[in-house]
Structure 1
Amino acid sequence: MTRYLLTRLWQSAVTLVIASIVVFWGVRQLPGDPALALAGEEATPERVAAIRADLGLDDSLLVQYGRFVGNFVRGDLGESTRTGTPVTELIGATLPVTLWLALYAIVVAVVVGVALGVVAERYRGRWPEWMANAAALVGLSVPNFWLGILAILWLAAGLGLFPASGYVPVAENPASAFYHLTLPAVILGTSLAAVIMRQTRASMIETMKTDYVRTARAKGLGRGRVLMRYGLRNSMIVVVTIVGLQLGGLISGAVVTERIFALPGFGKLTLDSVFTRDYPVIQAVVLIITVGYIVINLAVDVLYSVINPRIRVGGAS
């Protein structure tokens, strides 16, 4: 296990270095000049040149990258070229909003997806399976932004069951915070719940055909008990894989949901930074998401052997 973890950590470090190069180069390929965006369209060439020099944009890309890596290693993400606020403060104020939203959405997606997957397998060929498949098809087919608009019109503005917008910090009032996040979390987790449902159903169907399940049934165990004891546990491997891959995607893909429900999260910060060519903020946001993906994938690999003891890391028997 130790050797495997060291190997994965080394691979993650290499991935992070390559990602930092791609991010640094890609950000600078964005159209537009951040100095001009900061100075304004009517600024004099001298003013624009002074801002470029102050931001270090006249240096070579190699020098800029070296300065960027050095600052990142020291925990200095720079300052926003748009507001002058330290990037760490901007991220500290917005990242918790998106993290709570993503975690809440995953909890909703796992509960709903696994429940529908179990129902679909338990009642194969009957109307509960058809209903579960129809719900999954809707979740996969209808865009989140459209579901969000409908939810605001019907559940928030129409019935008044949930607030249409706004955010309350979890530390201040947890109950109110989760109440405000419920509708966005349900919308954000809809497509993930559909994927989990389909994969859980398929995994359980395959598991129920295995020899050890037939042996358990032959010993007198009921179908429901076998389904929950063997089928559901083995399907958790698929669920963990999906959740691990989608958590980073939810964090980076919550832009639309946050805009619809007016949440001051990572998505709003990202869009504002792209529109104003705020290089330090864009670089920090993308790198943080990249680190999140790397850490989550590593955690998922380790969890495999915990969920299913038959799986051994490093190819050990």
Structure 2
Amino acid sequence: MRRYLLNRLWQSAVTLLLATIVVFLGVRALPGDPALAFAGEERDPASLAAIREKLGLDDSLVVQYGKFLLGCLQGDLGRSTRTRIPVTEMIGSALPVTIELAVLALAVAIVLGGIAGVVAAVRRGRPSEWVANALALLGLSVPNFWLGLIAILYLAVGLGWFPASGFVPLLDDPIDNLHHLVLPAVVLGAALAAVVMRQTRSSMLESLGADYIRTARAKGVAPRSIVMSHALRNSLVVVVTIVGLQLGTLISGAVVTERIFGLPGFGKMTVDAVFQRDYPVIQGVVLVTATAYVLINFLVDLTYSLIDPRIRVTGAVA
């Protein structure tokens, strides 16, 4: 177990190192000059030269990357070139909003997609399966920005059930916080619910056709126990993998949803940083997202053996 953990930690560290290189070079491949964006109307050569020297833009890429990597190791992602606020402080204020939204969207996806997938597998060939497949196809086909606008138009503005925009911190008012996030979470989790439904259905059908299920039925095991204790549990390995990967996608993909609903999360901060050529903020956002992906994948690997005892940490099946 210790050897496996050390191996996975080493792989995660190498992945994060490569991520820092990709982030650093990718940000600098963006069109435009951050010095011009920072200077505003003061674009005389002397002002631009002073800004470039202050931001370290005149250094070679190797020197700039070395400073960036050293700062990352020290927990310092630099300061915003626009506001001069530390990037870690900006991310610390925006990240909890995005994480809360992503977790709620994931809960919506697991509940709706999981139930629909189990029903579609157990009642295969019946109208309930057709309805579940139709809803899954709809969830995969409808863009979340369009779904968000429709939800605001009818559920927020038309019926007044939910706020159209805004955010209330969780510690200030938990009920009002949930009231503001329910609609964005449903919009963001709709596509993931469709993915979870299809993966759950596929894994459940494979499990229900296995020999041990036929043996359990022959022994007279209750149908509910067969579905929940045998088929569903053995189907969770694939589902957990999908959910783990999609959680990272939700964190990075919440940009559009946050912009539509006016949430002060990663979305607004990322879009503003891109338009303003704010290199440190862009680097920090992408690096945090990459770290989330690596950490989630690491945790998903460790949970495999808890879900299915046949799977050992070596990756072999007993």
> Which TM-score bucket, shorter chain as reference?
over 0.9
Paired residue secondary structure (1:81): coil
Task: Give the equivalent residue in structure 1 for 2:105.
Answer: 105
2:312 matched to 1:274? no
For 2:184, the aligned partner's letter is P
CA drift of 1:252 comes to 0.5
Paired residue secondary structure (1:167): coil
Task: Give the equivalent residue in structure 2 for 1:212.
Answer: 212
CA drift of 1:236 comes to 1.5
2:104 matched to 1:85? no
- Quote the Cα distance in structure 1 between the aligned partners of 2:67 and 2:299: 31
CA drift of 1:155 comes to 0.6
CA drift of 1:224 comes to 2.8
Task: Give the equivalent residue in structure 2 for 1:51.
Answer: 51
Dislocated runs of 4+, deviation >4 Å = none
CA drift of 1:45 comes to 1.2
Paired residue secondary structure (1:108): helix
Task: Give the equivalent residue in structure 2 for 1:36.
Answer: 36
For 1:43, the aligned partner's letter is R
Task: Give the equivalent residue in structure 2 for 1:302.
Answer: 302
For 2:10, the aligned partner's letter is W
- Quote the Cα distance in structure 1 between the aligned partners of 2:224 and 2:121: 11
Task: Give the equivalent residue in structure 2 for 1:235.
Answer: 235
2:160 matched to 1:173? no
Q: Percent identity?
A: 66
Paired residue secondary structure (1:189): helix
CA drift of 1:41 comes to 4.7
Task: Give the equivalent residue in structure 2 for 1:249.
Answer: 249
- Quote the Cα distance in structure 1 between the aligned partners of 2:201 and 2:12: 32
CA drift of 1:67 comes to 0.7
- Quote the Cα distance in structure 2 between the aligned partners of 1:37 and 1:94: 23
Q: TM-score, normalised by structure 2?
A: 0.98
- Quote the Cα distance in structure 1 between the aligned partners of 2:235 and 2:112: 14
Task: Give the equivalent residue in structure 1 for 2:259.
Answer: 259
- Quote the Cα distance in structure 2 between the aligned partners of 1:92 and 1:315: 36
2:188 matched to 1:191? no
- Quote the Cα distance in structure 1 between the aligned partners of 2:154 and 2:315: 53
Paired residue secondary structure (1:313): coil
CA drift of 1:231 comes to 1.3
- Quote the Cα distance in structure 1 between the aligned partners of 2:258 and 2:40: 28
- Quote the Cα distance in structure 2 between the aligned partners of 1:41 and 1:20: 33
- Quote the Cα distance in structure 2 between the aligned partners of 1:313 and 1:131: 39
Paired residue secondary structure (1:314): coil
Listed as ranges, the gaps of 5+ residues in structure 2 are: none
User: What is the number of equivalent residue pairs in this alignment?
Assistant: 317
For 1:81, the aligned partner's letter is T
Deviations 1:39-85 (A, max 9, x none): 01552011011100011100111111111111111111111001111
CA drift of 1:210 comes to 0.7
Task: Give the equivalent residue in structure 2 for 1:126.
Answer: 126
CA drift of 1:185 comes to 0.2
2:36 matched to 1:20? no
- Quote the Cα distance in structure 1 between the aligned partners of 2:285 and 2:105: 21
CA drift of 1:125 comes to 1.0
- Quote the Cα distance in structure 1 between the aligned partners of 2:274 and 2:177: 28
CA drift of 1:315 comes to 3.9
- Quote the Cα distance in structure 1 between the aligned partners of 2:241 and 2:62: 37
For 1:87, the aligned partner's letter is V
Over aligned residues, Cα RMSD in angstroms? 1.0
Q: TM-score, normalised by structure 1?
A: 0.98
Task: Give the equivalent residue in structure 2 for 1:2.
Answer: 2
Paired residue secondary structure (1:102): helix
2:134 matched to 1:142? no
Listed as ranges, the gaps of 5+ residues in structure 1 are: none
